[in-house]
Chain A
Amino acid sequence: MSTMTAGPAESTLAAADFDTLAGALTEPEALAGARAAAWERFTALPWPTKKSEEWRYTDLGKVGFEALTPVVPTPATAEALSADVREVLGRSGERAGVVVLREGRVAHLELEPEVARSGVVLSSIRDAADRHPEVLRRALLEAQPGPAEEKLWALHLALLGGGYFLYVPRGVEMPAPIHAFHIVERAGTLSSAHSFVYAESGARAAVIDEFLSDDLDAETVSLHGATITGEGDAGIEYVALQRFGRGVKRFSTQHVTAGRDARVVTFNVALGGDLSRADVTSRLDGPGSDSEMLALWFGDSDQHFDHHTLQHHAAPHAHSDLLFKGALTDAGSSVFRGLIRVDKGAQLTDAYQTNRNLLLSEGSHASALPNLEIEADDVRCSHGATIGQVEDGQLFYLMSRGLTRRQAERLLVFGFFDEVLGRLPMEGVRARVREAIEEKIGL
């Protein structure tokens, strides 16, 4: 039985004495061990600079990590939800369960009784560490990103405030998604949460991680990680819907593993925040596995969105298809950097990667860097990227029907995005994402 701590102790990252932070916790060894090791790595590693290819367009030096207040991990406690949070909960559509995280800590968690009866487990990570320490340890190890991400990843694990663990047993099909709300309320904080999704063979799982905050008046950082694993013939639909307010900088590292004949769809939507980076890796681990990687972003003002992807084909006969589309206006900027890696034994790989960008203003800027690294000799791979503007003919047509230039441009952005939205299998999830995009773009 874990002891409850009185409340979060606080200090800035620079002065943080990790032992004091972690000492306040009584954690299962699976978590405490990972946390201590991560802190050691974090202190040993240098911050990546703009000299590294992976961070060339996103300057981590401009993020004032040292001045942030880490939100210290506390045991999961049920908290009273604010009216704002209740309102958000009320808006979300059909779902199998809800998780509310505040600055990374699980404040509320519920699973439809019927879904629970079918064997689905939804718990805080802390509880999962108690009950399934091995699964958790393996999942964390698997999700280990490449060297360029290691510093942030170590910080994420060291400060992990909480997160949830969704486990769908063999052959069970969830009727609706789990909707997790990651809410950041306190300006100037550094917080971290992790999403674990594990589907056994033949299971079907769906999750929406929705990231929310007001506009915050001081630099605030939200770290997020996701480990998504589908065993043989599993089906997973995972959506990360980032709707932070201004002031928030967000870093998300997502790792997908698809087993034999498993099919995983990931969909990243970036709408809010000052800076939003997502590193998404799909590992095609079993023959016949299938990974669909989708993303949309719409940046205005001086927002900066950065997406890094890896389609890693480790098994033969697998298929991956990436379609990322972004639209920018004002002084918005974005980076797409994607790699298809095909291991030597991964013959008959079918892998595609497409990034399309639409620029609505002269001050906006998009960089697209698609790449291939192929060691097998019998594969079908293609990659491509485009950066363009709206077509004059379409613009005039819409304006000739009374739409202002702004309305016409925004409607064309919707049209541009539709191809990606249409690929989300679950209608309820699609509607939620569409609604969020409409709210951001406005018409």
Chain B
Amino acid sequence: MSEPLLSIRGLRAKVDGEDGEILRGVDLDVQRGEVHALMGPNGSGKSTLAKVIAGHPAYEVTAGEILFEGEDVLELEPDERSRAGIFLAFQYPAEIPGVSIANFLRTAVNSRLGEGEEMDVFGFQRTLTEKMEMLRMDPGFAARYVNDGFSGGEKKRNEILQMAVLRPALGVLDETDSGLDIDALKVVASGVNRLSEADEALGVLLITHYKRILNYIRPDRVHVMMAGRIAESGGASLADKLEAEGYDWLHRAVAAV
């Protein structure tokens, strides 16, 4: 088997300047082309893991490693990780008043290209329009300020739009399903599915609190996070069991260890 797209080993992390680890020894492999769902109760460390993978400066990694395509990314700045192919769809995307989505994304695309190879405005506009159509977004969306005054659904859709334009090797989707009504959820899920179809090597780590989105995005693997560690891993059926039985049986199992 080839090296995993993402390989996390013994990862421990805490909020910078505070005591108390939030991640307490995470082990996780994601192969190219696979969709992994990461579930678990509130406060188990799912979102922290997402932010640590993306290089959020508020967290300090105290032990372990994150290998992306075989390379240690812990020393890389967030922008270097992004250009290497890691994408984080934020649970709470920042609002950037005064900066249009088109301007922002063109800058992001050009940051990946060498000097003198920047995409021209029209070429970029074509790509953007195409991706927006795929996500059933109004063409006027591109001129709006990034996330400024967006509804919850618009913000999440905007995250997937960025993923579609930036074409990462790994998409980490942090509770992209939360706060969406069923129609918005279907649009977002079908967007992710289309990205997977378009790029067979795309790896997805789908962090979610609910099983609902897994009715639309079929995971290859399901992991359950408890108290800062992966407590259980299995196939898609694990999500069904969690849906039916909740997390209590896992709490008991973890406590028994």
Contact = CB atoms under 8 A, between A and B. Distances in A.
B27 to A, nearest CB: 24
B98 A414 contact: yes
A403 B79 contact: yes
A400 B111 contact: no
A443 interface: yes
A401 B96 contact: no
Given A397-B93, A398-B104, A403 B98 contact: no
A412 B78 contact: no
Contacts of B78: 396, 399-400
A414 B112 contact: no
Contacts of B95: 394
Nearest to A419: B98
Given A415-B96, A415-B98, A402 B82 contact: yes
B79 A400 contact: yes
Contacts of A404: 79, 111
A401 B104 contact: yes
B55 A400 contact: yes
Interface string B44-63: 00000000001111100000
A399 B54 CA distance: 10
A417 interface: yes
A405 interface: yes
A401 B108 contact: yes
Interface in A393-429: 393-394, 396-405, 407-408, 411-412, 414-419
A411 B77 contact: no
A392 interface: yes
Given A396-B57, A396-B78, A443-B107, A401 B99 contact: no
A402 B103 contact: no
A415 B97 contact: yes
B90 A403 contact: no
Contacts of B54: 400
Interface string B75-107: 001110111000110100111111100011101
A417 B103 CA distance: 14
Contacts of A399: 77-79, 82
Contacts of B87: 400
Contacts of A419: 97-98
Interface residues of A, number: 25
A397 B94 contact: yes
Contacts, number: 82
Contacts of B111: 401-404, 407
Contacts of A443: 107
Nearest to B84: A402
Contacts of B96: 394, 397-398, 411-412, 415
B208 interface: no
Given A396-B56, A400-B88, A405 B94 contact: no
A394 B96 CA distance: 7
A415 B100 CA distance: 8
Contacts of A396: 56-57, 78, 94
A398 B90 CA distance: 12
B248 to A, nearest CB: 35
B166 interface: yes
Contact of A415 (B77, B81, B99): B99
B97 A402 contact: no
B162 interface: yes
Contacts of B83: 402
Nearest to A418: B98
B174 to A, nearest CB: 11
A325 B82 CA distance: 31
A401 B90 contact: no
A326 to B, nearest CB: 15
A317 B216 CA distance: 61
B165 to A, nearest CB: 9
Interface in A243-277: none
B175 to A, nearest CB: 16
Interface in B160-180: 162, 166
Nearest to B58: A392
A418 B99 CA distance: 8
B133 to A, nearest CB: 21
Contacts of B82: 399-402
Contacts of A414: 98-99, 103
A175 B85 CA distance: 50
A417 B104 CA distance: 15
Interface in A184-237: none
A181 to B, nearest CB: 27
B141 interface: no
Contacts of B162: 401
B77 A405 contact: yes
Contacts of B145: 415, 418
A394 B107 contact: no
A419 B96 CA distance: 12
Interface in B24-81: 54-58, 77-79, 81
A365 B243 CA distance: 56
Nearest to A393: B94
A79 B112 CA distance: 48
Contacts of B94: 391, 393-394, 396-398
Contacts of B107: 403, 407, 411, 443
A206 B145 CA distance: 29
Nearest to A410: B107
A411 B166 CA distance: 18
Contacts of B112: 402
Output the residue of A392, A397, A419, A443 with the most chain B CB within 10 A: A397
Contacts of A408: 79
Interface in A421-443: 443
Nearest to A420: B98
B159 to A, nearest CB: 10
Contacts of A412: 96, 99
Given A399-B82, A403-B79, A418-B97, 9 more contacts: A392-B58, A394-B96, A401-B79, A401-B166, A402-B79, A405-B79, A412-B99, A418-B145, A443-B107
11 contacts: A396-B94, A397-B94, A400-B90, A401-B166, A402-B82, A402-B83, A411-B103, A411-B104, A412-B99, A414-B98, A419-B98
Top 6 nearest A-B pairs (CB, nearest first) are A415-B98, A418-B98, A397-B94, A415-B99, A402-B82, A401-B108
